[in-house]
Amino acid sequence: MTNIYPLVRNEVLKIWKKKRFFVIVLILAVLIPIFTYAQLRVALNVQKQMGTEDWRIVVQQQIQDYENRVSSPRMQEEWKRWYIVEIQRLQLHLDQNIDPKSPNGVTFTNQFVANSVGLFLPLLVLVIAADLVAGEHSAGTIKLLLTRPIKRWKVLLSKYIALTIYVSITVLLLAAMSYLISGLVFGFNGWMQPVLTGFQVIGSELNINNINIIPQWQFLVMELGLAWFSSLVVACLAMMVSVLVRSIAAGMGIMLATLIAGTILTNMVSSWESAKYFFMVNLQTVSYLSGAVPPIQGLTLSFSLLNLSVWAMISIVISFIVFTKRDILN
C-alpha cells in the first residue's frame, strides 16, 4: 500500500541525524593520516637503506631476499609457497617494468582498500549496521515503527536499502579520504599508471597466462567493487545479529569477535581446509586481484564470492523470518 520510498528516506535520515556516519568520518579522518605517515616512513626508510629511489632496485633486492629465504632449509612449507608466488609476482612486475608500489595517492588508496577489506572496512560498516534494528529496540521506538499501517517486511526492507546506501557511501568515503589525505603527501597523480591483474595462484605456481595490464583507475574500481561486496555481506550479517540480539552492545560484540577471529584464522595459515567455509576468511576478496596467496589452499575468488553470497542470503532470510514473526514484548 504505502510505497517503500518514504520509508527508505526515513531510515537514511535517521542514520544521518543519529550522527552514526560522522563517527565513521571521524575514525577515517584520524586513522588515514596515521597510515599515510607510516607509509611515508617505510618509503623513507627504504631510501635510507638502499640509497636509491629506483623501485627496480628495491624490488630486485626484495626478490633476492625472498630467494635466499626460500632456499633456507628452516623455512616452513606454507611460507615457502607464499614466497615463491611473491617472487614470481614481483619478477613479473620487474619484467614488465611496472612499479608495484609507486608512491602516489592512487596507489596508496589501492593498498589501503586492500588492507581494509578484511577488518577495518567491516568495522566501519558495523558502526551503522549493528544499530539499525537493535537501536530501535533499545530506544523503544520499535513499538511506534511496527504499529504503522505498514507490513513488517517492508519496514525491514527499507532498513536493508538504507544500509546498502550507507555501505556504498562508506566505501566511497574510505577511498576518497585516503586519496585526498595521502595525495597531499605522495601526490595526486597515478590514475593512468599501469598495474598488473589477473593472477591465478595454483599451488605455488603463479599462472600468468591471463595477466593483463590495466590503468590503475580501473584496478581501483574493481577493487572497490569487491570491497563493497564484502562490506555488504558483513552489513547483512550484522543486521541479522542486530535483529536477533536486540542490543547494540551485544550485537557489536558478537560481530567484532567474529571478525577478529577471522583475521586470526587467516593469519594462522590454516592447514585446516574446512575453515574455508567460514565467511570471515573469505572477506579478503580484493587480494585475488593482485595475486596474493589465499590464506587457505583452495580458496578462489568464485568460491569466496559464492560463500559470502550464501552467508548473506541465509542471514537475510533469518532476519526477515524473525523480524516479521516475533512478538515485541519489551
User: According to CB under 8 A, which residues from 120 to 149 bind other proteins?
Assistant: 139-141, 143-149
User: Among all chains, which residue has been given the C-alpha cell 590503475?
Assistant: 216
| Size of residue set near other proteins by CB under 8 A | 84
User: Tell me, what amino acid is at 51?
Assistant: G
Contact status: 38 vs other proteins (CB under 8 A): no
- Which of 76, 267, 274, 302 is close enough to bind other proteins by CB under 8 A? 302
| 28-to-12, 18, 31, 36, 180 alpha-carbon distances in Å | 21, 18, 5, 12, 12
Minimum separation from the CB atom of position 20 to other proteins (A): 10
- Which of 22, 79, 151, 317 is close enough to bind other proteins by CB under 8 A? 151
Longest C-alpha distance within the chain, in Å?
71
Contact status: 317 vs other proteins (CB under 8 A): no
Minimum separation from the CB atom of position 142 to other proteins (A): 8
Nearer Cβ to other proteins, position 242 or 254? Answer: 242
Q: State phi, psi for 164 to the nearest 5 degrees.
A: -60, -45
C-alpha cell at 79: 611460507
DSSP 8-state symbol, 195: E
Nearer Cβ to other proteins, position 256 or 305? Answer: 305
CB-based burial label for 251 (10 Å; 0-12, 13-18, 19+):
buried
C-beta of residue 112 within 8 angstroms of C-beta of residue 35: yes
- Which of 28, 121, 226, 296 is close enough to bind other proteins by CB under 8 A? 226
Question: In the range 235-274, which residues lie near other proteins by CB under 8 A?
Answer: none
Contact status: 9 vs other proteins (CB under 8 A): yes
- Which of 30, 74, 76, 97 is close enough to bind other proteins by CB under 8 A? 97
Our CA dihedral for 113, 106, 21, 322, rounded to 10 degrees, sits at -30
Q: What share of the chain is helix, strand, coil (3-state, %, to 5)?
A: 70, 5, 25
Question: In the range 166-225, which residues lie near other proteins by CB under 8 A?
Answer: 166, 168-169, 171-172, 197-198, 200, 208-214, 218, 221-225
Contact status: 50 vs other proteins (CB under 8 A): yes
Nearer Cβ to other proteins, position 256 or 320? Answer: 320
Nearer Cβ to other proteins, position 33 or 215? Answer: 215
